[in-house]
């Protein structure tokens, strides 16, 4: 599957009910350019996952919403839940392992933990 350009305008549509791997990047970023073939290769391997790229120069509000402070930054969203976010450009084997770990998550358990954490924060306020 080809990568998708993720923007503030298409974000909700792209993320809705999908497993999405996001690469926050910029054209001037050397590590971003080095990571691009790894990202593209994985997008061709995992046809059931949406691979999306956010140009942080063109989409500063979207990058800000994810609090991206350095690039490249990777994020993974499953079922509308952010399950991973970290700066860096992992090598192919590490990126594939990250995707496998995200795929193996029990999303019912993830949602339950997120709900419990939100409740704790609400009770503590």
Give mean pLDDT, residues 52-74: 96
- Which pLDDT score, from 0 to 100, does residue 42 have? 95
Question: Which pLDDT score, from 0 to 100, does residue 125 have?
Answer: 58
Average pLDDT, the chain: 92
Q: What is the mean pLDDT of residues 65-74?
A: 96
Residue 102: the pLDDT is 96
With 0-12 CB in 10 A as exposed, 13-18 as middle and 19+ as buried, what is 96? middle
- Catalytic residue (one of 6, 21, 32, 38): 32
CATH number at residue 45: 3.40.30.10
Q: Reduce the DSSP state of residue 21 to 3 states and report it.
A: strand
Q: What is the pLDDT of residue 65?
A: 95
Which of these is catalytic: 20, 22, 29, 71?
29
Mean pLDDT value across residues 101-125: 85
Q: What does the pLDDT read at residue 77? A: 95
Q: How many domains does the chain have?
A: 1
Query: Rg of the chain's alpha carbons, rounded to an integer?
Result: 15
Closest by CA position to 90, among listed 102, 67, 74: 74
SS3 93: helix
The answer to whether 43 is a known catalytic residue is no
Cα–Cα distance measured from residue 3 to residue 89, given in angstroms and rounded to the nearest whole number: 17
What range defines the domain where residue 37 resides?
4-124
Q: How many CB atoms lie within 10 A of CB 55?
A: 19
Residue 20 contacts residue 50 (beta carbons within 8 Å): yes
| pTM, full prediction | 0.90
pLDDT band, residue 103 (cuts 50/70/90) = very high
| 32 is an active site residue | yes
């Amino acid at each position: 599957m080809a990568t998708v350009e993720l923007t503030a305008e298409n974000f909700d549509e792209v993320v809705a009910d999908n497993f999405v791997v996001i690469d926050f990047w910029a054209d001037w970023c050397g590590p971003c350019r080095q990571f691009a073939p790894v990202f593209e290769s994985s997008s061709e391997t995992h046809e059931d996952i949406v691979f999306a790229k956010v140009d942080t120069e063109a989409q500063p509000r979207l990058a800000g919403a994810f609090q991206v402070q350095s690039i490249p930054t990777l994020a993974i969203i499953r079922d509308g839940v952010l399950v991973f976010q970290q700066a860096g450009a992992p090598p192919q084997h590490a990126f594939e392992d990250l995707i496998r770990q995200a795929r193996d998550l029990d999303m019912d358990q993830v949602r339950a933990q997120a709900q419990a954490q939100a409740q704790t924060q609400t009770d503590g306020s």
